Structure 1
Amino acid sequence: MICKDMLVLELASVLAGPSVGQFFAELGARVIKIENAATNGDVTRRWKLKSEPANTDTPAYFCAANWGKESLPLNLSQNSDLEQLYSLVKQADMVIASYKPGDAEKLQVDYKTLQTINPTLIYGHLTGYGPEDERAGYDAVIQAETGFMYLNGESGGEPTKMPVALMDLLAAHQLKEGLLVALVQRERTGQGQYVQVSLVQAAVSALANQATNWLVAGQNPQRIGSEHPSIVPYGTVYNTRDNKQLVLAIGDDRQFERLSKALGTPEIAQDAKFKTNYSRVQHRQELNELLRQLIKNMDQDQLLQTLHKLHVPAGAVNSVADVFELPQARQMLLKHADTKPGVRQVAFRVGDEDPVQLTPPPAYKA
């Protein structure tokens, strides 16, 4: 276990911070989730689907990021509870916090305070907008403010929120990276570290090529559905004869030649309008219409098998239920005899170590 004997204190709620806590639990750390006793714990204990029972305190949303943890309800405005936390800080390797700026200081659980108790402590702090902006960060708002909603959706349609809290997840990944760097630094220097990540900066960093489409090429990206602004065909959804759907991800001209052969029309790869990616981008609509006509006369499974044999990037459009029929997805399941499955945060393997067996998300015990 990579993080065996580590103690992580999670002073965070919802998704970003807790997913980082589960990440370290999966690596073998002991993770204690400090829940706010004044508000009956993590708010996601009350985020329930219509189909879930009213009396559950471990609904599906909470189970997305809280495997392998112990729950400790504390009211940090009370001295006795604060002292209980401080006693844990003395033993801890890491704190994960998600307070908006100023709140940690009011509660006396900020990095400067806790560092005086434990100088080797690594403190990861998630905020919405950074240390100078007191606004709380909510994923849907961050998606709107950082261009993701504007870019997501069909051309001519309304801006559309991503179906997962993607900004939370991006920030969580940034914090994991920062905390791992801080652990390496502590091994070298013996000193603790403060790692600060904001949702808005994590989102901006993830704009990637869409950012440079504006910064470098001077083109302000617009909504184009699932298509790609500079590669064709890439991401477009095509319907097959058996009422299923697939997408293509043709990254170079050789792949397009093989696609053309698989569709029984090798000549289109020699057409000057489609021969190169640049020309395909110029004639996007004409090519997409041609591909739609060809693909709608073929069955999904048969076509995908042919494309895969020819090393043409293509895949079925799966529902979430379909996803967990994939062998790779089934390897990501967290299982325990007493509860329904969850999903791992750790998606890598180091050496031949078997994944840590985690306990289910903890119930809330006031």
Structure 2
Amino acid sequence: MQDPIFKNMLVLELASVLAGPSVGQFFAELGAQVIKVENAATGGDVTRTWKLPTEPADTDTPAYFCAANWGKESFALDLLQEEDLAELYALVKLADIVIASYKPGDAEKLQVDYDTLKSINPHLIYGHITGYGPGDARAGYDAVVQAESGFMYLNGEPDGPPTKMPVALMDLLTAHQLKEGLLVALLQRERTGQGSLVQVSLLESAISALANQGTNYLVAGYPPKRMGSEHPTIVPYGSVYTTQDGKQLVLAVGDDRQFRRLCRVLGVEDFALDERYSTNYNRVRHREEVNEQLRPLILQWERNTLLQHLHALHVPAGAVNTVPDVFQLPQAQSMLLQREGVKPGIRQVAFKLAWQEHTEVSPPPSYKDKRNSEQG
């Protein structure tokens, strides 16, 4: 097995909550040394206090914190203290990457902005996450950005209210954008020797991810609306159906051949030949009629049996799983970070390199104020 791709790289994480820490864990999983610099004045990353009712009150590594902090060292500093700032600067001299998530203006006040740190280490790559870009001083919160970017408006049933998604998707989208930017900056530094500033915002990341829903408006002049799990331009795609055993499945029939195969499995091949339903364009125009026909047919089957028949004919379909169901899947098992005596975590790195296996990653660090450590 080859050495981890980022062995001997030092990443300083001046970020909290989910977006920045997700990027830090990404580099940790690929072999980098990641030092999570936590705010000693506030007791560290705020997610250390975000605990479920089932978690001990005194834990400083609750489930939320564990979602994005495997593989790191924790180092608590109060950057308003001259001695602590000097310690950070000493680390900056050795660092390859800094990940920061200060709202505009705050990094400058703390003297940890890109220009300041670049004067210490000209080769430094500095990734900065903001809520709305460097020109807007508002702090970014995932739920607010979900609302402002249109995601909340689009999510939910047609006759229901706008609905926040159950994960901080704007944070995660932003993390992916920052990873990409940092990797491009590393490539540039490899070629030119120059460091750089990489800026990303939650709102811009969210707007970028509107994808076809955005172009439905920009190109086709169609303002998207809430459709539950239905798809605006494909039928049946995302549609959820209940089976005889009270379980649910979803169909993702992307073309007319797949629709004909679906109808064959359900024993209604003539339905696929009907001019109203034979093409996706017409099925979109007759969406409700398609669903009304399919619901009672699917209700006659047990879910696992129907899925087996559909998969055999390469009709895209799957069970609506609970989260416990998900982690029984072999693919999910391979995505777990595991260490003896520690509850599992989830990998940030979902791709596999043919020439490199996953490296072992240390569990999320407990909070360590350096002054307490010195006294101990």
Classify the TM-score, shorter chain.
over 0.9
Runs of 5+ unmatched residues, structure 2? 370-376
> Partners of 1:311 and 1:196 in 2: how far apart?
42
Which residue identity lines up with residue 220 of structure 1 in the other structure? Answer: P
CA offsets per residue over residues 71-130 of structure 1, 9 Å max, x none? 000000000000000000000000000000000000000000000000000000000000
> Partners of 2:314 and 2:5 in 1: how far apart?
36
> Partners of 1:104 and 1:92 in 2: how far apart?
17
CA offsets per residue over residues 195-241 of structure 1, 9 Å max, x none? 00000000000000000110011110000000000000000110000
1:173: Cα distance to partner? 0.1
1:351: Cα distance to partner? 1.9
Alignment of 1:147-296 (within 5 A): 147-296=150-299
- Equivalence for 2:33: 30
Alignment TM-score, normalising by the size of structure 2:
0.97
* Identity across matched positions, percent: 71
Choose the corresponding residue for 1:354, options 353, 357, 360: 357
1:49 and 2:41 equivalent? no
1:153: Cα distance to partner? 0.2
Choose the corresponding residue for 2:135, options 119, 132, 146: 132
Which residue identity lines up with residue 17 of structure 1 in the other structure? Answer: G
> Partners of 1:338 and 1:133 in 2: how far apart?
44
> Partners of 1:90 and 1:226 in 2: how far apart?
50
Which deviates more, 347-356 or 259-268? Answer: 347-356
Which residue identity lines up with residue 288 of structure 1 in the other structure? Answer: N
Alignment TM-score, normalising by the size of structure 1:
1.00
CA offsets per residue over residues 292-337 of structure 1, 9 Å max, x none? 0100010000000000010000000000100001111110000001
1:190: Cα distance to partner? 0.2
Choose the corresponding residue for 1:141, options 140, 144, 164: 144
Superposed CA RMSD: 0.5
| 1:130 counterpart SS class | coil
> Partners of 1:128 and 1:46 in 2: how far apart?
22
Which residue identity lines up with residue 267 of structure 1 in the other structure? Answer: D
Which residue identity lines up with residue 63 of structure 1 in the other structure? Answer: C
1:183: Cα distance to partner? 0.2
Choose the corresponding residue for 1:84, options 84, 87, 92: 87
CA offsets per residue over residues 149-194 of structure 1, 9 Å max, x none? 0000000110000000000000000000000000000000000010
| 2:94 counterpart SS class | coil
- Equivalence for 1:364: 367
> Partners of 1:248 and 1:276 in 2: how far apart?
16
Runs of 5+ unmatched residues, structure 1? none
1:100 and 2:116 equivalent? no
> Partners of 2:305 and 2:178 in 1: how far apart?
43
> Partners of 1:35 and 1:364 in 2: how far apart?
8
Runs of 4+ in 1 over 4 A off after TM superposition: none
1:338: Cα distance to partner? 2.5
| 1:187 counterpart SS class | helix
CA offsets per residue over residues 5-48 of structure 1, 9 Å max, x none? 00000000000000000000000000000000000000000000
- Equivalence for 2:12: 9
| 2:331 counterpart SS class | helix
| 1:197 counterpart SS class | strand
1:315 and 2:318 equivalent? yes
- Equivalence for 1:70: 73
> Partners of 1:338 and 1:99 in 2: how far apart?
35
